[in-house]
Amino acid sequence: MSDSIQRVSIVVLISGNGTNLQAIIDAVATADLPVDIRAVISNKPEAYGLERARRAAIPALVVDHRRYPDRAAFDAALQTAIDQYQPRLVVLAGFMRILTPEFVAHYHGRLLNIHPSLLPAFRGLDTHKRALEAGVKEHGVSIHFVTAELDGGPLVAQQKIAVLPGDDALSLAARAQQAEHILYPQVIRWFAEGRLILQANRAMLDGEPVRLSHQTTSG
């Protein structure tokens, strides 16, 4: 990647281990992703992803949701913390909080989330367990622009994985994570390169509405 390419500033929000954060950090380190990770913010002080950020010399902040009386107050504090870094894009990478419509509107068109299912299937939590209980033969991961509807924003990309005989929730989750670690940096790169935008509540890639042919890890 040429140094002449302008890096896009991002802030990453996490709640836990931060494996997707690590995939993003690694992609930046190998000059494969033209972004500047301005900060990593967690709602949980014990989140290991904060240590991943510190090891990469990225500012690591905590905005503990338990210190606020309600969701609106927490989101207002979180927004203040994010906006001091003036990011072009906010990346939810295992951030386990439902966001208020006001927060989502503030970052309209520049807020991405990754979800461990083939949306619209299995919105919410425990997706791998629920997929197995439903007996589906294909599972996967989805990346979407965030709207006020839980896991309901415009889809950007999906990657399918097969459900194998003998799978349990842990083995299925492990393969889903492998797909996430490839797909998320790719989608962030699309945004950074100006190829991906949200327009009239549609995800647009290279000037065209995202279609199933785009929902792979190719390109």
Other beta carbons within 10 angstroms of residue 31's beta carbon come to 11
* DSSP-H helix ranges across the chain: 19-29, 49-55, 71-83, 101-106, 127-134, 169-192
**Residues 122, 104 contacting (CB under 8 angstroms):** no
* Distance, CA of 122 to CA of 118 (rounded, Å): 7
In the chain, the amino acid numbered 190 is W
* Distance, CA of 111 to CA of 11 (rounded, Å): 10
Torsion 105-61-43-49 (CA) sign: positive
**Residues 40, 49 contacting (CB under 8 angstroms):** yes
- For tokens 């966001």, what's the residue? 99
Q: 115 an active-site residue? A: yes
SS3 126: coil
SS3 84: coil
* Distance, CA of 154 to CA of 108 (rounded, Å): 12
The residue from 65, 106, 108, 115 that is catalytic is: 115
Residues recognised as catalytic: 115
